[in-house]
Amino acid sequence: MSPVSSDEEYGGGSALAEESGKKDRSSRTSSNRRSASPVSENGGTKALVLTYENEEIGILSGPNETKILFHVNQVWIKHPSAGYCQFAEIYSTADLSKHFYPGRQVNVLMRNIPKTRDVKGQAEVMWLQGPTPEDELFRTRELSAELNFHLAQYQAGKCGKLEMVLSVDKHSSMDGTVHEYISYESGVIRLVGKDNGVVLFHLDQVWTFDGGKWILLKDIIKKPLQRDYLPVGSLVSLSVRKLPCSANSQLRYQAMVVWNKELCKMRESQEGEAGSWQQLRQPGLAEGQVPPGYKQMYANPEMHAKLIKSMDGHFNNFKNLAKLPLKNISCVPVLLNMLPSSWEASVYKVVDDENGVIMIKHRRGGNLSGDSKLKILKMFAIFHIDNVYTSSGEKFRKSPNDFMLQLHNQDVDLTARSIVGEGAYEGVFTAASQLNLSIMNPNVACPVLQAITVFLKDGPDSEANTRLAPKPTVLRSFPESFHSEDPGTAFFLNSTLTCRLDLIALNFFNATNQARMQKDVINGIPMAYFHQTKKSISTDKQEQIKLMTEVEKLDNNDTSKLLYGAYKDLPKPPVQMPYPQGMSGVPCLVRVLFQQGLFAKEGVLLCEIPTPGGHRVAVYAYFDISNFKFLLTRELRPKDLAENIPVCDSIDLKANIILINQQNPIPYIATAVWNPALWNRVPDHTPKLDDIYLQKYERSTAQIVGQSLGHAAVPPPTIVSTFSGPPPGLPPFLTGNSTTTTSIPPPTVGGPPPPSMMSLPPPSMMTQQPPPTAAATAQPPKLLWARKEFLREVVGRVTSIIDDNYGLAVVKFASSKPPHDRYRAIVLFDTCDLWLGEHTATELNTSLTECMREGDYIKVKALLVPVSENTKNIRYLATGVVTGRSKEEVRGMLLPEQEKLEHIDRIHPEKLNNFYQVVSVVCANIPGSGEDEVKGVSTDEDSLPPSHHSTRQPPPGFPPAGGGRRQHSSEYSSPTSSDTTNHFSRTSLVSIDKFEEEVEMKKAAKAQECASTRRKLSYDKQLRDKLLAEMKLPNQLLWRCRECEISCAKPGMEKHIQLKTHWEKLLENFNKKMDNLRPDSLQLS
């Protein structure tokens, strides 16, 4: 990767030649000469990865132990859908040592170099297996200069970046247009007139001219990029560096600096009009130049290095988000990227106000496939009205007056993806041919495509206006498209587009059924494909939340908060006065739009209310999309509130609010919210504050407040509100004849619900409770069965392994309040709940008997199952379990982060049915009662008071707590740190035979320990992290294995410590140390 100037020089070839040529002329003259070492069957020299100097540079061991230097830019892999491509094109640089780990065999073509630090060769290209990559792929004109640069850096003991050879003073700019957005902060730009290359850019590299100077836009940004400064289609200027790319990929560059050319030029001219003398001093940015602020900021080499590091991070995050290493990436493949010249399309059917069907056919009635075996005369594509663009290039749907019926029989052009298979021929054409043969009715539409963008045309021969629409980028040749003459397939790169299209398609299927058009539009094959590929998971809110969490890694500036806002605590008045019970027409602003997944359908308003003392107090009011009053003659009803009332627009709204809980940080509910600029009157609205809505209010406000604290919030106290008529001062719009009684949430099993905050008097009126009497504290604790609704990470012991899938455990704990009653509970768990590292036992196809035994300790989360009384008192169902041999080990374990299952309503009904069935079988076949199950079982969790156990390890050189406690097998100990290496019995001092016998015993024990630890590393993440922490080199991004004497990045070292060769080397070193011991150097045990 290197900066690119306007004359296409690769980072200044002459500069590279000067730097490396001064060191050794012979290196340049032999730059393309290969070594004379034996070659493998595929034409390359076989070598082994030896070690790494840093994340990008490593050393190979070739024939006759010849050391070969290689760089990540010379590493190539054969991808199933992209062919031969550079490793750095699809993988993060940090993953190099993970895939090319020390000890792995590779193929390499190298050139001979003068011996430098024991290195005699340098890799020109390196790959794993298969034939040699074609010369035109890697033997570019820049290869020699790049190799010389990396060699010069290695000779000098530096790790410089190739991009830094060309200083920012020499950077030049070129023009481009914004092509598409990947996320709120990242997108792609297509260069104008260069090579149609596509440029990846990020907000961190966007500049603007403001206040008479050039500054980074992120320092003053007030609206998201795509809504204000750089909308799709805008003209920009930019300076770029090259990215590794395969032959079929258009994504070839990354922007180092980018700015809105027209807007900044206009601002510069306006600034110059302030005075002619100023205009002479600052004439503006000349064509081909980069902003002076950019030059000034990155003239310092350290700042320049930070820029390169930031860009590397953005590129790596994009590769991970797009899942480029996979065959089927997360980007949307465009099988139809605008109609071929011989095809035509028009809107064929209208399903409802939002969905329709497009018919595609040959202009002359010919075969669309070109294959005589597949007689396809027409194909159908579904589309949504929000994806339609007019002939002027703008969105078609701007108001409710723009509706689907206006598009009927309209000529269109489109981009589309498949909804019946992967490729054009294997999926779409085959499905279309089968449908044409099986359905004889010519008026029936059988969709096989889904339109991504639709462009209205004035006539069949008119050109579509795509100026303001997002456009796809060619990345690779799989899956094949309808455009067989093109070498690659285009993809839309937007990170959420796949999920959004899936939702549109699923809604289309439902709309067809609701319109009773099943005979006119047959969705059988698309629905079967969606079921087969599990695309219905897109409707799962938790899956959407996971997706948005991944997108946040790319958007490191949190500019989504410009649209959705962020919760902040309001200042509290010195004297807490009672709030009004309800108000109408309160002026307010949107402060938070609560985004759960792709859309925000709830939010928080900032209102000002009067108090009895005459002051005005700022308060929050909760609302959801059902409370927002859309003027349907002028406003579209969106799925995402950010489309109508984004926080950054600061739209003045009005609301009717009612007080629910003054102790809640969000005390009010807005029963009606509207835009007064559109509404001329207060909407008539009677609040419907039923139990379900108030539960939603309670849950959502807790999550909104908790997000601001960086963790999941505990739900606020239970609300029990009884309205027996309008409270005093309630406005007319809230009065009614009915009585509403709400009681949140359903009663807990085993006892009444706790008292609510609303049922308690204000804090100022509450009196202090007298201290407990001696008699009260002297009451003996009771032994009871637990009735808590949720057990949160309690320690227990396994009492029964029922079969390979199910087991029972007993937990005991004590109440924190006098008289500290003891509680017991029996928990049923299965392999789906048992976590072994990052996976469950079910995912690893492991039975309970293989990973635990009766008497083992567990840490468990469990829920009380309602109506589950039985003879053995098995009342709890586990939702997460980790296990270990000792209590101390289990206490230090962390349960993996997973979906919060803290209420029985979140448990799948099938899992509850299994619970009842297993419990009934256990009660019928295993004798004894619940008391027999818990008898004699002590988890040491019932001590008083509850103790907080530290998992911190003792410093090196100090014995572990517990004196001579035997080290657990899961704990890793190297030969140099083993406490028992030099410890022998007294008899070994006088008996050589006894000494040798103990040596062999220690060798055997070490061999068993190595095998056990290696096996456990495959599923124990905590153990892997502990090992890696010991290997981390200070102040470096390298990890070193001192046993094998290799260094590499963390992913590679994580792979290395799980290899058999590592543990064989560790055992070999231990055995050598034992063999070198003498009886006179022993320590007595």
Q: Point out which residues pair with 388 in neighbouring strands.
A: 454
> What pLDDT score does 440 carry?
66
Q: Point out which residues pair with 237 in neighbouring strands.
A: 175, 259
**Using one digit for the tens of pLDDT, what is the confidence trace for 504-541?**
999 999 999 999 998 899 998 899 888 888 777 767 78
> What pLDDT score does 850 carry?
81
CA distances to 207, 211, 268, 280, 983 from 273, rounded to whole Å, are 22, 14, 9, 11, 87
Question: Considering the chain, what percentage of its residues have pLDDT values greater than 90?
Answer: 39
Q: Which two tokens stand for residue 313?
A: 């991070």
> What pLDDT score does 4 carry?
53
Give the H/E segment covering residue 921. Answer: helix 909-925
Residue ranges in the chain whose pLDDT is less than 50 = 5-40, 276-280, 711-770, 772-777, 941-979, 1085
d(CA 172, CA 166): 11
Model confidence, pTM: 0.72
How many CB atoms are closer than 10 A to CB 913? 10
**Using one digit for the tens of pLDDT, what is the confidence trace for 450-492?**
999 999 999 988 999 999 999 999 998 888 888 888 888 999 9
8-state DSSP, 319: H
Q: Is the dihedral of CA 380, 381, 384, 389 positive or negative?
A: negative
8-state DSSP, 377: -
8-state DSSP, 729: T
d(CA 553, CA 321): 9
> What pLDDT score does 558 carry?
92
- Report the relative pairing of strands 388-389 and 186-191 from DSSP bridges: unpaired
CA distances to 74, 395, 540, 630, 651 from 677, rounded to whole Å, are 61, 23, 36, 12, 9
Residue type, 134: E
Q: Which two tokens stand for residue 977?
A: 């740190």
> What pLDDT score does 1083 carry?
54
- Report the relative pairing of strands 489-492 and 332-334 from DSSP bridges: antiparallel
8-state DSSP, 493: -
d(CA 115, CA 1042): 26
**Interior angle at CA 660, CA 656 and CA 662, nearest 5:** 110
d(CA 808, CA 4): 65
Give the H/E segment covering residue 430. Answer: helix 430-438
d(CA 673, CA 680): 13
Dihedral of the alpha carbons of 286, 292, 295, 297, in degrees to the nearest 10: -160
> What pLDDT score does 684 carry?
67
8-state DSSP, 74: G
> What pLDDT score does 161 carry?
82
Q: Point out which residues pair with 586 in neighbouring strands.
A: 655
CA distances to 259, 436, 827, 872 from 441, rounded to whole Å, are 55, 9, 60, 64
3-class DSSP state for residue 936? coil
**Using one digit for the tens of pLDDT, what is the confidence trace for 541-585?**
888 888 999 999 999 999 999 999 999 999 887 777 888 888 888
Helix 301-322, helix 541-554: angle, nearest 10: 160
8-state DSSP, 643: G
d(CA 240, CA 6): 10
Which of 341, 344, 347, 339 shows the shortest CA–CA distance to 365? Answer: 344
Helix 1060-1075, helix 992-1017: angle, nearest 10: 160
Alpha helix (H) ranges present in 608-736?
A: 691-708
8-state DSSP, 979: S
Q: Which two tokens stand for residue 728?
A: 């005093």
Contact 167, 299 (CB under 8 A): yes
> What pLDDT score does 936 carry?
66
8-state DSSP, 404: G
> What pLDDT score does 172 carry?
92
